[in-house]
Amino acid sequence: MVPSKLRALFCLCSCLTLVHPFVWQDLNPAAQMKSPAWLHKIKALMAAASFGQTKIPRGSGSYSVGCTDLMFDYTNKGSFLRLYYPSQDDDHHDTPWIPNEEYFLGLSKVLGTHSVMAKFLSLFFGSMTTPAKWNSPLRTGEKYPLIVFSHGLGAFRTIYSAIGNDLASHGFIVAAIEHRDGSASATYYFKDESAAVKGNKSWLYFKTLKRDEVEAAVRNEQVRQRAKECSQALNLILDLDHGRPIKNALDLEFDVKQLKDSIDRNKVAMIGHSFGGATVIQALSEDQRFRCGIALDAWMFPLGDEVYSRIPQPLFFINSEQFQFPANIIKIKKLYLPDRERKMITIRGSVHQNFDDFTFATGQVIGCIFKLKGDIDSNVALDLSNKASLAFLQKHLGLQKDFDQWDSLIEGEDENLIPGTNINTTYQHITTLQNSTGIGK
C-alpha cells in the first residue's frame, strides 16, 4: 500500500537537501517545517516531482456517484465505513480523499519514519479529492447489489476510492470498512456520547508487532476480527435497508433513512485487497450471506488451515505480476476443491499498489521510485481488474446487466492478462518462514 521506509526516507532526505542546503549537524526538521519560505519551497518541489500526475479516475459506468462516512456505535467496537453509492445529480463538492492529518501520522508510523514524514505526506496529498459527490442524496427507486470492501495492511477506508467509485457508477453500493484490529494505519472512535457530539476523536494507530509476539497468531486473530467487522457492517446496512432507526455517530448531511429499501439483499459480495483478500476468504467461510468473493492480490499468511475447506462460494483471484510468490500461490490453490468455482488471473506489468489510489495520486517518477506504479499504465490495470470483477459479479449474483461482455477477462483472455499465475510452484523450495512484515499486505 505504501513504500518501504528506506525508499521513503531516501526520497524525503533527497527532497530536503534539494530544497534547503542543511548543515546536517544542526538539522532541526521540526523548526524548519515552521518556516513559510521552507514550506513554499517544499510545495514547489513536490509540484515538480509530481509532473504528469494523474487524478483518481471517475467511475466508467452510467450512474453518478455519491460518498459519505458512516459510524454506527461511536465506540471502537462499532462499525466505521466509507459508503460509495449511485447518487442524484447535484452540486455537492467532491469528496476529501484523506480527510484527517492523523492518517498521515499513521502512515509515517507504518513506515517507521519521523513524524516529519507525516507533514510531508499531508502537504503532498492533504488537498486531494476523489470524484464522488460528498453527502449527495442517494438515487432512490432501485434496489442495488451490495459490496463490502476490506482494505490492506497499513491502509484505511478511503484509499480504494477508484474501485469504490467505479463499482458505484455501475449500480452497486460499496461499503469500504475501516478495520479496528490494529491493521489500519490509523482509525478513530469516540470515548463517549459527549465526545461524539463535540467531535473529540480518539485515535488508534497501526499496531507494531512486539518482539515476543508470534506473527502468525497475531495476524490470524486480526483476520478473524476483520471478518466479524465485515459481517457486523453488513448487519447494520441491512437493518437500515429494513428501515430500522440507527443513528450515524458522525454529524453529516447524508440522511441514513434514504437507505431504506435500497439493497438487493440476495446480491451481496465481498472484495478485498491483500490482507483484505485474506479477509474475504475468512468472511466467506463464516457468513453465507456473502454470495461470492473477489481477492485482489490476496496475502494468504493470516489464514488458518481450517478455513480452506469451508468456502462453497465462488472465489476470483486477481493478482499483480510482481507481488505473488510460490508459498502464497500454493495456499491459494488449496482452495481449488472439486465442485468449487475458482478463477485466477494475473495483470501483466502490475505491482501490488496498482489496486489502491496511491497509484493515481503520484506522478510517474515518484510512482516508480515508490513502487506505486508498474510497467502497465495504472488506468489500464485497474480498468481490467474492475471489468473482470463486474463480469464475475454478474455471473454469481445473477445480475441483469451487460457485464457479461467482459466474461473473457475472467479467463485471462487479453494481451495484458495471464490466465492463472505467472508463478511456478512445481520445483520451488518453499519455506514456512515468509517475509510477511512488508508494508501494504
Active site residue 274: yes
Rounded CA separation 202/100 (Å): 12
297 is catalytic: yes
- Cell numbers 442524496 correspond to what residue? 137
Q: How far apart are CA 323 and CA 297, in angstroms?
A: 7
Of 125, 116, 124, 99, nearest to 34 by C-alpha is 116
Q: How far apart are CA 170 and CA 165, in angstroms?
A: 9
Q: Which of 166, 264, 297, 356 is catalytic?
A: 297
Choosing from 79, 352, 356, 389, the catalytic residue is: 352
Which of 87, 161, 274, 385 is catalytic? The answer is: 274
Instruction: Please give the backbone phi and psi of residue 148, each rounded to the nearest 5 degrees, phi first.
Output: -100, 125
Cell numbers linked to 275: 490482507
Catalytic residue numbers read 274, 297, 352
